[in-house]
């Protein structure tokens, strides 16, 4: 029974981290579409703050044993790739 509970916590932690990563991507997309350009300090500040926060969440989940470190790195890597694509799309408009 305890193993099942741990697995559920791990699944929930991973799901929440992925949701948070998606929120960051959406926030940056909205900012690029409506507010600022990627070269703007506000854009960079939001991006840096959000990415730092997500990395801290991942570190915490790894320390609790809820997420494997490789999976955490993968979440960050996928988000960075998505943000690079958004940046390229914006700058090629």
Mind listing the pLDDT tens digit of every residue in the chain (93 residues)? 577 777 889 999 999 999 999 999 998 888 777 755 656 676 778 788 999 999 999 999 999 999 999 999 999 999 999 888 887 877 776
Which residues, at least 6 apart from 24, have a Cβ–Cβ distance to it below 8 Å? 50, 51, 54, 79, 83
Instruction: Kindly list the domain boundaries of the chain, sorted by start residue.
Output: 2-91
Superfamily of domain 2-91: SO2669-like (1.10.287.750)
pTM recorded for the entire structure: 0.81
């Amino acid at each position: 029974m305890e193993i099942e509970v741990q697995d559920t916590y791990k699944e929930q932690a991973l799901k929440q981290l992925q949701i948070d990563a998606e929120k960051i991507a959406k926030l940056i997309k909205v900012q690029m579409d409506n507010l600022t350009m990627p070269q703007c300090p506000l854009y960079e500040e939001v991006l840096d703050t959000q990415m730092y926060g997500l990395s801290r969440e991942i570190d915490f989940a790894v320390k609790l044993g809820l997420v494997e470190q490789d999976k955490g790195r993968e979440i960050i890597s996928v988000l960075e790739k998505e943000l690079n694509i958004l940046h390229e799309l914006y700058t090629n408009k």
